[in-house]
Amino acid sequence: MMAAQKRSGLRGALRHDEPMNRHTSWRVGGTVDRYYQPADIDDLAMFFSQLDEHESITWVGLGSNLLVRDGGIRGTVIATSGMLNGLSKIGEMTVRAEAGVACAKVARFCARQSLQGAEFLAGIPGTMGGALAMNAGAFGGETWNIVSAVETLDHTGNIRRRLPADYTIAYRSVKGPKNEWFVAAELTLQAGDSEISQAKIKEFLNKRGNTQPIQQPNAGSVFKNPAGDYAARLIEASGLKGYCIGGACVSGKHANFIVNTGNATAADIENLIAHVAKTVEQQHGIVLECEVRIIGEALV
């Protein structure tokens, strides 16, 4: 925990006992001990330099792909959305996007710059930081296919520039240096036609709206697609569309989505995730791997 006398010089906002249901797309979750909204990357580096080295750090962007348990989170949450929001063209074919920029905003920006290859980002309901951390993908594209470099921050406030070769990248998986977090990415794209790219983005967004329950609180796809198959197909074939535990239900629109119908708890959602995985394994012999990060403490 930061000592009070060490907080001088910080320009961001620090809040205590912040309810995480305000900051997750499922609209559930208990409180976090400390919630910091940095003014920019330099301010965040200063914040980190003042933290105890054993402080637990959790990063949250738009709060999608994240389930915070009802007992909340011990330690500090770094809130990037709307804060680490730098987005600029830094070369003829290269765009720099900070971790708090929404993926859809990056897609539109690249299209306006007549750069193609980032259109798929419009289908990812999160920020660039989360997309980098899990190699998020949509509509056949994956984040790290267009990443040429990243900027990271470590627990002591040091900023580094790293290359994709420093990481092991796979489907919805990124492994690299420990105790470093992504604060920005450089995306190298191809010359394209702005109107064609914007039309493709519109098509992707329409498809997302038609096939996903975007009008209800959800966290995006819950399970990774197993090799050669689709999680949604397996869940639907198991008769689970519309199945509910408490206020959490498997979406009737897309079986790989779980929605909060209004009064779900994090425990309802976690129990439903477990039930779906168990049922699919029993009926199809396939173990579904959860794509959603589940963090925090359960209520006793």
Catalytic residue among 18, 119, 151, 291: 291
Bridge-based pairing of strands 190-191 and 159-162 is unpaired
At 232, phi and psi to the nearest 5? -60, -40
Instruction: Evaluate the CA torsion angle 235, 203, 198, 26 in order and state its sign.
Output: negative
Catalytic residue among 27, 162, 172, 293: 172
Task: Decide if 191 contacts 111 (C-beta within 8 A).
Answer: no
Active site residue 221: yes
Active site residue 291: yes
Catalytic residue among 221, 238, 251, 270: 221
Q: Which residues of 101-140 are buried (b: 16+ CB within 10 A; e: fewer)?
A: bbbbbbbbbbbebebbbbbbbbbbbbbbbbbbbbbbbbbe
Give CA 218 to chain center in angstroms: 12
Active site residue 172: yes
Structure letter (DSSP) for residue 225: P
Active-site positions? 172, 221, 291
